[in-house]
Amino acid sequence: MNRSRGPTSDRNLTWQHLQPREQRWKALGQRPVIAWLTGLSGAGKSTIANVVDQALTASGRATMVLDGDNIRHGLNSDLGFTDRDRAENVRRVAETAKLVADAGLVIIVSLISPFSAERKAARAIAGDVAFIEVFIDTPLPICEERDPKGLYFRARAGTIPNFTGITAPYEEPTKPDLTLATVGQSIADTARPLIDMLLQLSAVSEQPLYDQILPKNPELMRNI
């Protein structure tokens, strides 16, 4: 697949055709999926991603979690929190997720990704790899009450600029593929629908759900 997005002749670049990705998928015995978890800070994204990752590994799936904070310690350590930097943060994570998905893994992205346009761009980068937008639906007052890192307190005090939900906007998904409400539920109960969905989508069969559901009928995904 040619991933080029613009002229390359002036940079002397040529897309190299390597081993078909489907051969790697066959060797792994699974199909790749990208689950993109979005929500406010403190919503529970990282916690849910970790539980889902462990459950899938225990079920024999090859997986990887791309956590927003962890990515900013390395790959995206040069980015700040302006709107432009946030967009670039999402783009880099999406490109990384696509590369790992081409290797056949199930990717669980845990990233605030506050803007709908950037989440839409991430889906476009995924191309024909199954991509599910998962809204971790935790109200702002609950996130502030949890405040595991003390960030909301500092944001309210004015010491953290451009903080999502306080001094910077968060655009809730209008039509997510899956919504996980965290209030009043255990972590295990919250994570279960996503675990089940990823096990189904990554399964190899003669007529896999992967082909039947995405991207042809995203409405069906929301009803699982």
Active site residue 113: yes
Within 8 A by CB and 6+ apart from 57, the residues are 63
Single out the catalytic residue among 113, 116, 186, 205: 113
Q: How many CB atoms lie within 10 A of CB 197?
A: 22
Residues labelled catalytic: 113
